[in-house]
Structure 1
Amino acid sequence: MSTVSSPRPYREAFESFWHPVAFSHELKERPLPFQLLGTDGVVWRTGSGVAATQRYCAHRGADLCHGQPSAEGLRCGFHGWTYGGDGRCVKVPSQPNAPIPGKARLASYACAERYGLVWVCLASQPAAPLPEWPELEDGSLATVPLPRLDWDVSAGRMLEIVLDVAHLSWVHDGTFGNPEQQEVPAYDVERRPGGLRAQIQYPALSPSIGGMAPRVDRTTLTYDVTLPFTVRLAFKPTLFYTHTVYAAASPVSEEKMQCFYFASYHPRIRNFGDMFVKSELAILEQDRRIAEGQRPKAHPLDFAGEVHVRADRLPIEYRRAVAALRLGQPMDAPDTE
């Protein structure tokens, strides 16, 4: 792919997609702040769902995170000005009989709650739907979240390291990586509407526990990417239930992200939640050290500064797809080598 001279600004390229800004369990009776693509916002619960607007009151710039949701909307804690979910001011208590100024309104954003996450789209019309994860909606699986991940790395870099098959045996030695499996067998990447899919088998190595020898299990890994920054990764051991991790990287800016990371699992897997949180935090810390050290910090649009091989095919296809979005092109546009 050739070097691009004029990609769209980062916010412009990704503001029309849905991005998570909070776990549902975090959003209770008080509003929560968020940062998304350089925008400071606030989310709160309404009588019928969730709403998102700019963070600061149009009156005197007070932080609406210190406000209070009410039946009428979000009430500012400074002077009581109240805003509906569409951002319009509906109440000025200091002069209740006077017309409300037309400029008394906040920027409002599309907001939705699904899969235990609160999602926001900064554009007036979303360019794509939310990811499709129907297995999370029929009640047959249990879920467990990690604490949100605040990494000093771009959202695209975060996704690339999750999708990188070749690093497993090197970076994850001591967690689940198998140092004896250095070669990456050939695998296919399928381009799908709005994303990518790939499947490989990996001989995962469990660490030694209680003096027992580590055990190798040929685990099937299935990657389903929803562009731009979300992946579902299913782990199917040979003789055990599948568990699936979901990583949704939310771009704070072009060089920083928060990731909302959780897993679904069969309820018959005993003590899975505790085991998952402990092991996955250790695995992700290994990834964080690598990702935060990569340069450039922003997600590259091409491959001019790097040398790639066939084993890198999934992150290569992912980068091509994201670069196409940045250029305003369909992700399956012909590549220019």
Structure 2
Amino acid sequence: MRSYVDAFSPYWHPVAFSSELTAVPLPVHLLGTELVLWRTGSGVAVTHRRCAHRGADLSVGVVTPEGLRCGFHGWTYGSDGRCVRVPSQPAAPIPARARVSAFQATERYGLVWVCLSPEPAAPLPEWPELEDGALATVPLPVLEWDVAAGRMIEVVLDVAHLSFVHEGTFGNPEQPEVLPYEVERRATGVGARIVYPALAPATDGMPPRVDRTTLTYDVTLPFAAKLAFKPTLFYVHTVYAIASPLSEEKMRCFYFASYHPRLRNHFPDMFVKSELAILEQDRRTLEGVRPRAQPLDFASEVHTPADRLPIEYRRGVIALRLGKPVDGPAPE
């Protein structure tokens, strides 16, 4: 089985919202690697964060027309990682080893994505509805949790926990039964549609009411989940959770929602407040789970049919670790 870093380095992972990347370099972490991002005339450059000269932090450097200039001695690096200027020896040839590792970066859905391998193993998630102008979006502050990226996605997919962990937000503790449902396994991930009797909050003096909400799950491996909520008598809104692995036991999650433009005046504030409360309930639960790393089998756990969606998702992750097709025979 491949190591965690080797298995997931060939995939695109988000490292920042595009809005975070301004005229100054931005330090980020991905899969145990220190990186620095900066804007160029043609897009985003990303390299290792430490200067090849004396190990200085390039994220406190300066972006120039030539590239990223180190704040320690002024060595300047192009977007390909090669040093293009050594101010202390302007007439001397620049040593061939004067370079830092450079990686691929791209922007989509308001995020900066990085791949640590020369060739990505898969494309970015396909969410065209976020680019055709038909929907509005609202982001949450970046979530940084002491838990594996895969654990985060598993909880997004876990309908059985809703009635317990999310009591007081939308969970319905009086109706915890999960009725049978089907899971679609495909080459890029998994999907399912499940109806949950969500408990709508009390309003205008009226008691809470049950709203049979259709939950449509669409997961792109390794760590991107799209979940559409369709209440009985309301517009659909969709959340997007992309967990970026800092290490095998720690992640940052970029989380946002799309919604009908008619809700623009009210939905953003309401969504951010309610979703942060829901995610805090998940964080408290997940950070207490052991191991923090996503298990590579099912031997230490006991499952029921209600757990089928997170189980099939984990099987997909295990297949990636084994180098096997995701939609092939299920790994044991």
Q: Distance in 1 between matches of 2:275 and 2:133?
A: 23
Asked whether 1:192 is paired with 2:147, we answer no
Q: Distance in 2 between matches of 1:47 and 1:134?
A: 26
The correspondence for 1:316, drawn from 300, 308, 311, is 311
Q: Distance in 1 between matches of 2:245 and 2:201?
A: 33
Q: Distance in 1 between matches of 2:122 and 2:186?
A: 13
User: 1:263 maps to which residue?
Assistant: 257
Alpha-carbon offset, residue 305 of structure 1: 0.3
Q: Distance in 1 between matches of 2:258 and 2:184?
A: 24
The correspondence for 2:288, drawn from 293, 299, 315, is 293
Q: Distance in 2 between matches of 1:106 and 1:210?
A: 60
Q: Distance in 2 between matches of 1:138 and 1:82?
A: 39
Asked whether 1:133 is paired with 2:107, we answer no
Q: Distance in 2 between matches of 1:54 and 1:17?
A: 17
Alpha-carbon offset, residue 128 of structure 1: 0.3
Q: Distance in 2 between matches of 1:70 and 1:141?
A: 37
Query: Percent identity at matched positions?
Result: 73
- Equivalent position amino acid for 2:133 in 1: G
Q: Distance in 1 between matches of 2:76 and 2:148?
A: 35
Alpha-carbon offset, residue 207 of structure 1: 2.0
SS of structure 1 residue aligned to 2:117: coil
Q: Distance in 1 between matches of 2:250 and 2:16?
A: 16
TM-score, normalised via structure 2 length: 0.97
| Structure 2: 5+ residue stretches without partners | none
Deviations 1:109-149 (A, max 9, x none): 11011001000100111000000000011112111111111
Alpha-carbon offset, residue 195 of structure 1: 1.0
SS of structure 2 residue aligned to 1:167: helix
User: 2:323 maps to which residue?
Assistant: 328
The correspondence for 1:91, drawn from 75, 85, 94, is 85
Deviations 1:259-290 (A, max 9, x none): 11111111111311101110000000100111
- Equivalent position amino acid for 1:288 in 2: R
- Equivalent position amino acid for 2:297 in 1: D
Q: Distance in 2 between matches of 1:27 and 1:212?
A: 45
Q: Distance in 1 between matches of 2:228 and 2:250?
A: 26
**CA RMSD in angstroms, aligned pairs only:** 1.1
- Equivalent position amino acid for 2:9 in 1: E
CA contact (8 A) 2:186 2:327 kept: no
Asked whether 1:109 is paired with 2:103, we answer yes
User: 2:278 maps to which residue?
Assistant: 283
Alpha-carbon offset, residue 208 of structure 1: 2.1
Q: Distance in 2 between matches of 1:206 and 1:29?
A: 44
The correspondence for 1:166, drawn from 141, 154, 160, is 160
Q: Distance in 2 between matches of 1:335 and 1:205?
A: 35
| TM superposition outliers: structure 1 runs of 4+ over 6 Å | none
